[in-house]
Each structure stands twice: as C-alpha cells, then as structure tokens.
Chains A and B, each alone.
Chain A
Amino acid sequence: GESVGLHLPTLSVQEGDNSIINCAYSNSASDYFIWYKQESGKGPQFIIDIRSNMDKRQGQRVTVLLNKTVKHLSLQIAATQPGDSAVYFCAEILNTGFQKLVFGTGTRLLVSP
C-alpha cells in the first residue's frame, strides 16, 4: 500500500546538536524522495531530495541517507539552530508515471537555545 511513516512525532534537541529524523516508506517502486520543512502558517518548503540510485546526498548542513534494503530514509541536520524548529516531512514520488507525493505524518523538531 501507499504509506510513508515516521518513527517519532516530536524530537527535542539543544542548539548546536546534530538532529536525525527518520522515515520509513513501504512502496519499493518509489524512486524519488524529498524532505520538506513546514513552519507554522506556511506551506512545506523543499529541503533536499534524493533519487533511488543514490544512498547519500549532502546539502548545506543537511544530509539525506537512503537505505533501499530496509526502505528507510533519514534527514540529518548538523549544528541544529532555533530556526530549524519546524515540522519535517518525508515524501516519496511513486514510480507510476504520474506525479503523486505520498507524505509521512511529520516529525516536529524543537530546538532549545
């Protein structure tokens, strides 16, 4: 079935710590994954993406890891800042020829100064 799940609903970290947000997906046909950040009152904002032919991709302070064997994604945020506080969603695009994002339920990241 179509489902993307998140292991933790809330993650609390101290400023400067590294954060890891995890996500499990169930559709082995998915070949493209995106992490979004959503702040209160705003739409989801693209953070980083990864295609299924890769297992790691790095951006500015963020890294996404993809483990296709266990259908698992993670988002690592280095030196977490208060401005990183938001809800983070992983999303997969199903390889059906049509574009359809299937979102996880979201993880709220709380960063304490």
Chain B
Amino acid sequence: KAGVTQTPRYLIKTRGQQVTLSCSPISGHRSVSWYQQTPGQGLQFLFEYFSETQRNKGNFPGRFSGRQFSNSRSEMNVSTLELGDSALYLCASSPGARNGYTFGSGTRLTVV
C-alpha cells in the first residue's frame, strides 16, 4: 500500500512569488491535513480537508490556501511568499473519524 506522497521534495522560491505543493493521500483516506514545521514554531496546523471541503483552518494568513480534489488529492498554495514561509510543509492523511494520521515526507520550501 503506497504511503502519502508529497511533491516536490524540495523547492526554492523568491520572495513575492507563489508556490503550489501537492499531496496524494493513502488510497481510501478522505481526510487530508497540512502542517507547517519550523525550528522555532514546531508543527503548526494549517488546514484539513474532507471530501473536498475545508473542515478546519489554523491561524495562518489568507496567503495560505488549499483545496482537495474528488480523488482526495490535495494542494496547498502560498501566495506572495515571505522569507518566514521557509519551512517543511507536511501533509497527513487519515481514514477519518479520529483515527491515526499518516504523514508524508514533506516538501522543504526555501524562500530567498
């Protein structure tokens, strides 16, 4: 059974640009969550999608957005990148209903 796949693994962007990250959940998992991990703030919840609907959102500015497709694949977008957006972005999928989450290896975003 394939795990959670995140692409790309590494990304370097310039301040002011936008970026789109992709996540393919485990087959059959309908819940996809996104987290930002930085040394200073740890793992911070961004948002969670279930059946193409955003169910929950963390305390991030509107520059951070996401969506989920009918096949449960999810994308997150960050517009007008800032240096502070440099982080490891992690995606996790779950079957739902307070079951465990499986994480991908993440996308390492560096903003220069």
Does B associate with A?
yes
Least CB distance, A7 to chain B, in whole angstroms: 15
| Whole-angstrom CA separation of A100 from B90 in the bound complex | 14
| Whole-angstrom CA separation of A34 from B101 in the bound complex | 9
Stretch at the interface among A15-23, A70-78, A101-109: A101-109
Whether B98 and A41, one on each chain, are in contact in the complex, defined by CB atoms closer than 8 angstroms, is no
Query: When the two chains form the complex, which single residue of B45, B90, B103 contacts A102, counting CB atoms closer than 8 Å?
Result: B45
Whether B100 and A99, one on each chain, are in contact in the complex, defined by CB atoms closer than 8 angstroms, is no
Q: Is B22 located at the chain interface by the 8 A CB criterion?
A: no
Whether B102 and A46, one on each chain, are in contact in the complex, defined by CB atoms closer than 8 angstroms, is yes
The secondary structure that dominates the B interface is strand
Closest to A32 in B: B98
Q: Is B61 located at the chain interface by the 8 A CB criterion?
A: no
Whether B100 and A43, one on each chain, are in contact in the complex, defined by CB atoms closer than 8 angstroms, is no
Q: Is B48 located at the chain interface by the 8 A CB criterion?
A: yes
Give 1 or 0 for each of A87-113: 1 = CB within 8 Å of chain B CB. Answer: 001010100001111111110000000
B56 contact set on A, CB distance < 8 A: 98-100
- The tally of residues in A whose CB lies under 8 Å from a CB in B reads 23
- The tally of residues in B whose CB lies under 8 Å from a CB in A reads 24
B43 contact set on A, CB distance < 8 A: 44, 89, 91, 101, 103, 106
Least CB distance, A90 to chain B, in whole angstroms: 11
Query: When the two chains form the complex, which single residue of B33, B50, B104, B105 contacts A101, counting CB atoms closer than 8 Å?
Result: B33
List B residues 68-98 near A (Cβ within 8 Å): 90, 92, 94, 96, 98
Tell which of A34, A44, A89 has the most Cβ of chain B within 10 Å.
A44
17 A-B residue pairings within 8 Å (CB atoms): A42-B105, A43-B103, A44-B43, A44-B103, A45-B103, A49-B100, A91-B43, A93-B98, A98-B48, A99-B33, A99-B55, A99-B56, A99-B94, A99-B96, A105-B42, A106-B42, A106-B43
Q: A residues engaging B (CB < 8 A)?
A: 31-32, 34, 36, 41-46, 49, 89, 91, 93, 98-106
Q: Supply 16 further A-B pairs (C-beta < 8 A) apart from A98-B55, A101-B101, A103-B42.
A: A34-B100, A42-B106, A43-B90, A43-B105, A44-B90, A45-B103, A46-B102, A89-B42, A91-B43, A99-B50, A99-B94, A99-B98, A100-B33, A100-B48, A103-B35, A106-B42
